[in-house]
Amino acid sequence: MNSDIQINKPTPILATEKLVLFKRATHVKDTIKALEAGDFVLITEFYNNGMTLLKELQTHLKNKLPNKSFKEQREYRAAYHKLSNLILLEITAQKVAVKKSPEIGWLEKFYPDNDHFMLTFPQVQGLNSAWQWYQNGIVVPVLRNKIHPYYGTYFPTRFDHLILFDNWLKRYTGPKKSAIDVGIGSGVLSFQMIKHGFQKVFGTDTNPNAIFGLQEFMGDTKLSRKIELEHGHFFGKYEKEAELIVFNPPWLPESYNLENVDEAIYYNKNLFPKFFAEANNRLATDGKLVILFSNLAQIANLTKEHPIEKELAKGVRFTLEKCFKKTVKGASEKTKRNQHWRGTEEVELWVLIRK
């Protein structure tokens, strides 16, 4: 396992002088005013006190901000992100120091020598959820075995595009000696290719947690000899030509008013031009470039531009062999967000070949 990789983890917060204490008897409106003034709030007594404060904060922001269109929802989430991350929890001896807190194994893994610090409440929630997924595993319909995503690694929560890819792989009759999975994440596309007979997959990711987590997950199994990993951009140090390149990029254009943009969900203006330029040098003459995408950004009116169509319109590097589309299942009735656009959302599988 590559021990040189530096894991991304929440940065410990040292005790700050100006702390507002929040317990069951504390007046919620006063506490929210303190948050809006930029003060840190420390949750005391019970873990559930933090849950109560977050719920009240959500109600406060929903009353204050419209939350109907896709853009308004993003603005609401940005405001919630800013204020909720002023709510702190104390960590003592690798445990959350309030009663009835969840047991989170990451605290021992990530901070073995740090006995006293603070993290934001959303960070602790994120660590807790990630620990459950990591421990229990996640069932993915196109795979035989569960995946166990490492902390901070993107994993699919919707599967329409993976089913589209699996169906394409079933019909694929080309050579299966080598493939490249750009942005391997939790490894699902690579596992699908191995399942369908590919001898070797080279996977890259800019996220060190994705690479470390997959190395740990595969260990010294047969899988580890079939999937080679590298922490790096696009094609990393891979210089040979591949018969198949697969890419499941972010589906939404980057929003400049959002803090801490997640590279697994939002793409910047340089991502696709750079990717296509490099893919042109790595794809074998008779190879195929497969991109999994969605029309979500167009139907949510975030952009009129489709980055794959834009590349094809240039007519310089690639031509379209085939584009498969699949209508996405409607949003769950349990989903509280207004997702009226989901009825017209389609996932797309683009097969490009070199000119």
Structural Rg of the chain based on CA atoms: 22
Alpha carbons 241 and 280: distance in angstroms, whole number: 10
| Fold of the domain spanning 160-354 | Rossmann fold (3.40.50)
What is the per-residue pLDDT for 265?
67
Alpha carbons 331 and 329: distance in angstroms, whole number: 7
**Which is nearest to 345 in space by CA: 289, 310, 302?**
302
Tell me if 341 sits within 8 A of 300, measured CB to CB: yes
Which distant-in-sequence residues (6+ apart) come within 8 Å of 7 by Cβ?
110, 151, 152, 208, 209, 212
- Angle between helix 47-64 and 28-36 (nearest 10): 70
Phi, psi of 22 (to 5 degrees): -120, 125
First and final C-alpha spacing in the chain: 39
Alpha carbons 37 and 32: distance in angstroms, whole number: 9
The residues spanned by each domain of the chain are: 19-134, 160-354
Which distant-in-sequence residues (6+ apart) come within 8 Å of 65 by Cβ?
72, 75, 76, 79
Strands 200-205 and 178-182: parallel
Following CA atoms 174, 233, 131, 49 in sequence, which dihedral angle do they give, to the nearest 10 degrees? -130
Q: Both tokens of residue 300?
A: 């949510």
Entry field: residues in the chain = 355
Alpha carbons 282 and 277: distance in angstroms, whole number: 9
Phi, psi of 11 (to 5 degrees): -80, 125
pLDDT in tens, the chain (355 residues): 455 789 999 999 987 778 999 988 888 999 999 999 999 999 999 999 999 999 999 999 988 887 677 777 888 888 999 999 999 999 999 999 999 999 999 999 999 999 899 999 999 999 999 999 999 999 999 999 999 999 999 899 889 999 999 999 999 999 999 999 999 999 999 999 999 999 999 999 999 999 999 999 999 899 999 999 999 999 988 888 899 999 999 877 776 444 444 555 677 788 999 999 999 999 999 999 999 998 887 777 777 888 999 999 999 999 999 999 989 875 444 444 444 445 688 899 999 999 8
Alpha carbons 353 and 217: distance in angstroms, whole number: 33
